[in-house]
Amino acid sequence: MGDIHELGAVALREALATGQLSAVEATGHFLARIAKHNHALGAFVTVTADQAMLDARTADATYVRQQREGAELPLLHGVPLAFKDLTDVAGVATTHGSAALDRKSAPEDGVLAATLKGAGAISLGKTQVPEFGLTAYSENRIAPPSRNPHALSRSSGGSSGGSAAAVAAGLIPFAPGSDGGGSIRIPAAACGLLGLKPGRGLVPAGESVGDAAHLVVAGPLARSAADAALMMDALVPREYQPERGYLAAIGEAPAALRIGVSLDSPWSTTFPFTPEQEALDALDTGVELLTDAGHSVFDAEIRYDNRYPEAFTAAWTAGVGSARILPQREALLTPLTRTFRRRAQQRSAAKVNEAIGFLRQFTHDTVAQYGQWDLVLTPSLAQTPRPVGWFTGQDLGGKQWPAPDWPGDADDDYRKQCEFAPWSSMVNVCGLPAITLPVHWTGPTPGTGLPMGIQLIGKPGSELLLLQLAAQLEAPGKTADKLL
């Protein structure tokens, strides 16, 4: 067995379940890696080393007892992971990435943490997020920005950016993320990982306070389809899983599929954009891989209602308007959060309801168009991972955090995000499952430079199909991670 961090989550789980590794050994190894690399990476905001080692010792005692009694171990027995700092973990402060909030320890685990800890996983801490999870980059005023393991001057994306950086760098084997407008898929694509956004309602751990349009779902960030399938087995109630579970069925090749490929975006009329050549190269690689695997790819022209950007923004930012923030602490918010909060508070409830009503009709129209194909294919991102500080106008690529101020214009920031990730949010609105896969690299040889990926959007209930297709396209012997 090689270094522990080189094992995938499935292999690590097997080593723990068979006694080749103890939970204390695995937990101690990953904590040591965090201590060594996190100062440069900024992936973790809080490391709960003492509690993690206590939980590991408890897991090892459970292993001995259950081996003696012949009982079955929990699915994720002793597997280390971490939660993004929007998720409540008992006894740990949930900062929501905001300097405007008091740092109070959560009294109990949130649903996502309770689900995975109940399956035997060991939490190592909390990972970096943007303020209130609003942006496609993980930078805030409370801790250093999360950086991309493939190039530390680049962002790891957002809002699950710290988790993606930690997985790609081998600080944890896999991680749960949450996705309300691309927050799993964007950082997965930026860091060269697989990111799966399940369909609405499948995972009972993705709810978000103030999410009036029901956009947010939880799902895995992983280095392989099998690792993502293992986490889905832990996240999805058994009665809603495939008959044999996700991991057991991951190796079954899907039947030949009809896939529509599109560059159309509902953001195009408000924020016209031109995909970078690297994004188009990734799409071309994706088409080639799918065709070689026996699937048929067709050009797809999708028409989106040009009222979408205003309606989505109203629904997406409604929650920050109702967040409990003391008036004297409003100045501690980032410019983008402060601007969206003010506008949300000025927007009437009737306007929000009107926006949500429009999004329901948008869903009906869009899903009907997607229905012409088994899957819809887009690039994951329209641009390569952006430099740290690029969205906000800060030059943090090589500078010490924190910057003396937080410059930049909120509307320019938002425009840049929508042009960077123009194919993400409509999937949340439609409640559909989608997966992003790394298929292309900007360097001279595979696995060098920056990763670029493709997104596959499925029909309701197609999570297993997406994972099976991802497994089919994975290059043998190649990993997308950047193990430091």
Tokens, residue 231: 């986490």
Catalytic annotation present for 84: yes
Contact 247/353 with Cβ under 8 angstroms? no
40: Cβ contacts below 8 Å, ≥ 6 apart: 147, 152
User: In 10 A of CB 382, how many CB atoms?
Assistant: 22
Query: What's the pLDDT tens digit per position in 183-231?
Result: 999 999 999 999 999 999 999 876 566 788 999 999 999 999 999 999 9
**Nearest one of 299, 304, 432, 437 to 372, comparing CA atoms:** 299
Residue 20 sits in a domain of what CATH number?
3.90.1300.10
Q: Which whole-number Å values give the CA distances from 178 to 151, 204, 330, 460, in the listed order?
A: 24, 12, 26, 18
Counting every residue written for the chain, the total comes to: 484
> Has residue 69 been placed in a domain?
yes
In the set 159, 160, 380, 425, the catalytic residue is 159
- Tell me the DSSP string of 217-273: EEEEEESSHHHHHHHHHHHS-GGGS-TT-HHHHTTSPPPP-EEEE----TTTTTS--
In a domain, 484, yes or no: no
The β-bridge partners of 151 are 148
d(CA 246, CA 232): 7
Q: Please give the chain's pLDDT, 484 residues, in tens.
A: 669 999 999 999 999 999 999 999 999 999 999 999 999 999 999 999 999 999 999 999 999 999 889 889 999 999 999 999 999 999 999 999 999 999 999 999 999 999 999 999 999 999 999 999 999 999 999 999 999 999 999 999 999 999 999 999 999 999 999 999 999 999 999 999 999 999 999 998 765 667 889 999 999 999 999 999 999 999 999 999 999 999 999 999 999 999 999 999 999 999 999 999 999 999 999 999 999 999 999 999 999 999 999 999 999 999 999 999 999 999 999 999 999 999 999 999 999 999 999 999 999 999 999 999 999 999 999 999 999 999 998 766 555 666 656 667 999 999 999 999 999 999 999 999 999 999 999 999 888 999 999 999 999 999 999 999 999 999 643 444 565 6
3-state class of 178 per DSSP? strand
Distance separating alpha carbons of residues 363 and 325, to the nearest angstrom: 33
> In the annotation, is 138 catalytic?
no
Q: Of 98, 183, 425, 462, which one is the catalytic site residue?
A: 183
How many folded domains does the chain comprise? Answer: 1
In this structure, what DSSP letter does residue 66 have?
H
Residues 6+ apart with CB under 8 A from 469: 254, 257, 293, 375, 435, 456
Q: Is residue 483 part of a domain?
A: no
Amino acid at site 356: I
Q: What residue numbers bound the domain in which 307 lies?
A: 4-473
Residue 306 covered by a domain: yes
Q: What angle do CA 430, 435, 438 make, to 5 degrees?
A: 145
298-320 pLDDT, tens digit each: 999 999 999 999 999 999 999 99
**Contact indicator for 310, 355 with CB cutoff of 8 Å:** yes
Give how far Cα 284 sits from Cα of 87, 257, 439, Å. 37, 17, 10
Q: How many whole angstroms separate alpha carbon 132 and alpha carbon 220?
A: 20
The verdict on residue 479 lying in a domain is: no
- 481 within some domain: no
Q: Where are the alpha helices (DSSP H) in 5-110?
A: 9-17, 23-41, 49-69
Q: Does 159 participate in catalysis according to the annotation?
A: yes
Average pLDDT, the chain: 94
